[in-house]
Amino acid sequence: MKIFKGKVISTKMKNTATILVDSTFMHRLYGKRFTRSKKYHVHDEYGLKIGEVVNFVASKPYSKIIKWKVINYKTENILKNSVAKESGNVKGRKINVVQKKVNKK
């Protein structure tokens, strides 16, 4: 069984999480590396949150599109992202929010 590793990007469905898996490939002729991404719908028994890194494998079909289940997950990345969002700094840079006014006629 192949074990996939990805990041949770959505948990809007009941008992289902959407996982984004990035794969790096090298072009056969030119040798340039590039990344391809694929989304998987995974059965969520643990109550995953957005930003968690999970490992998952193929399993019995839970529904038409859900054919994967979570083996384990890590919550380290959520803490780093939440602190950065609260302080307004991302990678040491300040974020300036600009609000635009819309003129109504």
| Per-residue tokens: 5 | 């590793």
According to the model, what pLDDT value does residue 96 have? 47
Please, are residues 53 and 5 in contact by the beta-carbon 8 Å criterion? yes
Class of domain 4-74: mainly beta
The per-residue DSSP string of 48-60 comes to: --TT-EEEEEE-S
In order along its 105 residues, the chain shows pLDDT tens digits of 899 999 999 999 999 999 999 999 999 999 999 999 999 999 999 999 999 999 999 999 999 999 999 998 887 645 455 444 444 444 555 444 444 445 555
Instruction: Report pLDDT for 21.
Output: 97
DSSP-derived letter for residue 62 is: S
pTM of the predicted model over 0.85: no
Q: Determine the Cα–Cα distance for residues 16 and 13; give it in Å rounded to an integer.
A: 5
Strands (E), the chain: 4-10, 16-26, 33-43, 53-58, 68-74, 89-90, 93-94
Residue-level pLDDT at 78: 52
Confidence (pLDDT) at 98:
45
Hey, where are the domains in the chain?
A: 4-74
pLDDT of residue 87: 45
pLDDT attached to residue 11: 95
Q: Backbone phi, then psi, for 84, in 5-degree steps?
A: -65, -40
- Phi and psi torsions of 76, nearest 5°: -65, -40
At residue 51, the pLDDT reads 92
Specify the pLDDT at position 79: 47
